[in-house]
Amino acid sequence: MSTDRAEVIEQLRRVIAWEIEAQVGVQRAAEEMPPLIADTLLDYFDVAIRPGVDLP
């Protein structure tokens, strides 16, 4: 794994953990968290679906 990739993974981990802690702090239901986490990731990172990816 390249250093750049490892750093991005670490940054993603930190942002996701921060958002989960915030949502648990306000007693958010687990099923409500994915859209909030996705929105937070878009706030911090340039995210795009790769060509050819077929999401269910």
* 14-52 pLDDT, tens digit each: 999 999 999 999 999 999 999 999 999 999 999 999 999
pTM of the complete model: 0.78
State in Å, rounded, how far the first CA of the chain is from the last one.
27
Hey, what are 25's tokens?
Answer: 């702090």
CA distances from 33 to 7, 14, 24, 41, 43 (A): 24, 16, 9, 12, 15
